[in-house]
Amino acid sequence: MIIGVPKETKDGERRVALTPDVIAQLVKAGFTVQVQNDAGVEAYYSNADYTQAGAATCDANTVFAGSDVIVGVNAPAADNIARMKNGAVLISFMFAATNASLVNSCMQAGVSAFSMDAVPRISRAQKMDALSSQSNLAGYKTVLLGANALGKIFPLMMTAAGTIKPAKVVIMGAGVAGLQAIATAKRLGAIVEVSDIRPETKEQVESLGGKFLEVKGDDSVKTEGGYVKGVSEAFLKNQQELLFKHIAMADLVITTALIPGKKAPVLITEDMVKSMRNGSVIVDMAVESGGNCPLSELNKTVVKHGVTIIGESNLPSLLPMNASDLYAKNIQAFLLHLATKDGMKWELDEEITKGSLITHQGKAIHPSVVS
């Protein structure tokens, strides 16, 4: 089986799907790997690093036309999918429910496509959970971006010239990214308050030293596989009312709330931004899905009503070495589950395969894309 690693083409993307260390292990297991020239250069891996690991380096056409499996961080462009062999396999992030054109490209090319964001969140798939590995890094980097934009330090500091009070950080959402943000902000010495609509996260928040701001749930809050799948407007209004005074006193607010396949919920209204002190900072981690704050702008840092609002959409890419290494290990575990060096197993009723396979043999088969 020949595995191809193309160079990422999405604007601002610095990650690479496989690192030399992981490739060396796959080659040892009997796979053949070919990597597009300079595919890893933005993540600080040279062509020589890949050849020393046992991979061949080549041009893009050779990678796409000559590989049995293409592995990427982001899905390739339609013209590159069209170059793939009929019956070849694509493994990448797809977010298929909101990317109909990508699904159609895979169907037209006869490509069987697996989406890394659709891997079921079950115990035996933890090593394959790329959403978690990348969100973990994003949560860490978010705090550093916020701290860098803030005109004050995080920790309590007592000096001869006076005492500096610790910064107050409000984090909205205690998923993987939120929990890492809590831990990072606490390590830097901030006072951390956290809101999450899932009451079961309270214990995790408090174990990291955060104060949990509890909003009473209702029947509209639906969770599935660790994600919030739906919430009513009434609940969001109650949450906003509770958080208003906390956000008004915050130095840094980090929002992480996403609903798969839907626009991100608005958590911070313009009135809430107006209530914040001059020099405060908001980092909107949901900006690519519409944003948790209506004033955030995609891939821009703007100042609105005296508040700096950061809308970086690809936080893991700002840590390309660690992000690539963790993602490559996710891909390795996933690939070894799906295939041997001799070919794909195609166990279509197996839970991980069934949960992540979007298209197969020219047909859309995943529930998220089947009308």
Residue 339 belongs to a domain with what CATH number? 3.40.50.720
Question: ∠ CA 171-173-174 to the nearest 5 degrees?
Answer: 95
166, 266: one domain: yes
Q: Which helix (H) or strand (E) holds 47?
A: helix 47-52
Q: Is residue 129 part of a domain?
A: no
**Residues paired with 224 in a beta bridge:** 227
Q: Are residues 295 and 184 in the same domain?
A: yes
Q: What 8-state DSSP symbol labels residue 277? A: P
Residue 76 placed within a domain:
yes
Is 183 in the same domain as 218?
yes
Measured CA to CA, the distance from residue 41 to residue 44 in angstroms comes to 5
Q: Which residues are catalytic?
A: 121, 126, 129, 132, 227
Q: Are residues 92 and 143 in the same domain?
A: no
What phi-psi label fits residue 176: left (phi over 0), alpha (psi between -120 and 50 degrees) or beta?
alpha
Residues 277 and 51: their CA atoms lie apart, in Å, by 54
What is the value of pTM for the model shown?
0.91
Residue 131 lies in a domain: no
Is residue 130 helix, strand or coil? helix
pLDDT at 241: 82
Q: Check whether residue 312 and residue 324 sit in a common domain.
A: no
Token match 């690939």: residue? 335
146/74 same-domain check: no
Shared domain check, 298 and 355: no
Q: Do 167 and 192 share a domain, yes or no?
A: yes
Residue 349 belongs to a domain: yes
In a domain, 125, yes or no: no
Same domain, 308 and 339: no
pLDDT of res. 226: 52
Do 170 and 77 fall within a single domain?
no
Query: Domain tally for the chain?
Result: 2
Element (H, E) at 354: helix 351-356
Q: Is residue 123 part of a domain?
A: no
Q: Which domain holds residue 53?
A: 2-118+320-363
- Are residues 185 and 279 both part of a single domain? yes
User: In this predicted structure, what is the pLDDT of residue 218?
Assistant: 57
| pLDDT for res 43 | 98
Of 146, 164, 191, the C-alpha closest to 281 is 146
> Do residues 91 and 72 lie in contact, with contact meaning Cβ atoms separated by under 8 Å?
yes
Residue 233 included in any domain: yes
Give mean pLDDT in consecutive 10-residue pieces for the chain, a chain of 371 residues. Answer: 97 97 97 97 98 97 97 97 96 93 96 96 95 97 98 95 96 95 97 91 94 73 54 76 91 92 89 96 95 96 97 97 98 97 94 96 90 69
Put residue 20 in one of left, alpha, beta given phi > 0 → left and psi -120 to 50 → alpha. Answer: alpha
Please report where in the chains the tokens 């197969």 appear, as a residue. Answer: 360
Tell whether 199 and 243 lie within a shared domain: yes
Indicate whether 199 belongs to any domain.
Answer: yes
